[in-house]
Structure 1
Amino acid sequence: MITIQSTEQLTGGCISGDFWDLDELVNAIYKITGDENKYYDYQGARLRILHVCYKLRQAAKGEHRLEFVSNGLTKNVLTQHEYIFPSKNAYFATEIIWPELLFTAIALNDFIRLHKEHVDDSDWNIEVAIIRKFQAVVADCLKQEMDDEQYLVFLRMLHTKIPLTFRYATQYIDVLNLEYLYLDKEERQIQLAAFALRIMLENEDYMALKSQLMEAAIMTKKALHDIEINIRYPEEIWW
């Protein structure tokens, strides 16, 4: 089962699960987001989500963190069945910076809507169910870090049917990630809800950045999501 817990410094959420949990989630996301020729106006969001999927695939190969979780096998059960088996299973884990993780959960809403409109509107779609569970786990983790009022505001906005990542300038998530990283733990606790809302609301900072990116896109004849901004992450992140 996929679990998410805030990291010690509230830098991000640590996603963990066994190999099959992570593999199931990644495959569901790939199915829902479609190939690169689909939903062109959402390509920036799609590529951002797939970057998180890449980290999950790396984690499933043991390239990030390993955790050992009790599997419920007691000494009595093992004796009864005459098995020699470890009492813990290996879980693979990776950390995702909070603004990045929030954007991923929010953007997946748009792709679920698009998938239902253009591919399969069944209430029993297994990939949608897998992603909804992932979103629920993100929300549940977030609930531990917000007061009730902030959390309800976030949920109401998350449930909107208005597309939130249509032609979204995803470079803004890098800006938020970096800004968030330079806060201390106490400031992150206070401002996490505000960061969630800034992802969903097109404020002045976002619109100014998008305007600059659109000008660059016109000049270079590149897609909006292909324009790079001059930003550098710390070499080491204190989770």
Structure 2
Amino acid sequence: MPIGLERKIVNRSPIESLENNSYFRIRVLWPELLFLGFVLNDFIELSAKNRRHFWDSTQARLRLFQSIIGECLENTVGESKFRLLKGLLTPNFIGYYQNFVTQYIDHLNIEFLKMDKAKRLAHVSIVAKRVANKDAKYIKIKSQIEKIAMQDGVSLSVVRYPGGYPEDFRW
């Protein structure tokens, strides 16, 4: 049992607990999870100059997390589609996601939630491509967010995506 967790709390929470390990279950949308996996490439490489040594465990843990995302992605889209997506997992250059307008991820999340479960599964590979490549839709949303930020005199990160998340959706 993890230190500080009582058995009755563990039984009511989304935690699977073995004697020495705890596993948390969360629900996350594919666009958000893929963005996190992709942006970690930038983080790992840009933080390399500050690492204590090449065997620093932080980068290894992040790569392990990315590998878990990759396994889930392959299991979701299938081996043939995953083979086509593998090239996206390695960034074109470091800093690609620097100053990325994350409101685009909100847009992708909202569009994803509008789909039924079967359509979402069919579109995971498309979402991966959209997160990995700044397409025309990204450029359009970035322009809208920049315009709002300029009008309001705030930074881009303060501007909320104009579209709203659906009140009710099925995981």
TM over 0.5: yes
- Shift of the 160–91 alpha-carbon distance from structure 1 to 2, 3 Å rule, reads closer
Give me the TM-score of the superposition, normalised by structure 2. Answer: 0.82
1:90 deviates by: 5.7
1:161 deviates by: 4.4
Is structure 2 residue 130 aligned with structure 1 residue 198?
Answer: yes
Equivalent position of 1:28 in the other structure:
none
Separation in structure 1 between the aligned mates of residue 167 and residue 52 of structure 2, nearest angstrom = 44
Separation in structure 1 between the aligned mates of residue 47 and residue 148 of structure 2, nearest angstrom = 31
1:237 deviates by: 4.1
CA deviation string 1:131-164 (max 9, x = no partner) = 1111100110111011334213322122124133
Unaligned runs of 5+ in 2: 4-8
Is structure 2 residue 30 aligned with structure 1 residue 98?
Answer: yes
CA deviation string 1:107-153 (max 9, x = no partner) = 1111111101x312743111111111111001101110113342133
1:224 deviates by: 1.5
- Shift of the 173–65 alpha-carbon distance from structure 1 to 2, 3 Å rule, reads farther
Check the 8 A contact 1:105/1:135 in 2, yes or no: yes
Runs ≥4 residues deviating over 4 A: none
Separation in structure 1 between the aligned mates of residue 16 and residue 88 of structure 2, nearest angstrom = 36
The residue type paired with residue 95 of structure 1 is: R
Equivalent position of 2:120 in the other structure:
188
Identity %: 29
Match of 2:51 among 108, 120, 128: 120
Match of 1:129 among 50, 57, 60: 60
The residue type paired with residue 66 of structure 2 is: Q
Give me the TM-score of the superposition, normalised by structure 1. Answer: 0.61
1:67 deviates by: 4.3
1:19 deviates by: 6.4
The number of equivalent residue pairs is 164
Separation in structure 1 between the aligned mates of residue 159 and residue 126 of structure 2, nearest angstrom = 26
Separation in structure 2 between the aligned mates of residue 110 and residue 120 of structure 1, nearest angstrom = 14
Match of 2:100 among 159, 168, 174: 168
Check the 8 A contact 1:67/1:91 in 2, yes or no: yes
- Shift of the 19–180 alpha-carbon distance from structure 1 to 2, 3 Å rule, reads farther
Equivalent position of 1:77 in the other structure:
none
Check the 8 A contact 1:19/1:91 in 2, yes or no: no
Check the 8 A contact 2:38/2:91 in 1, yes or no: no
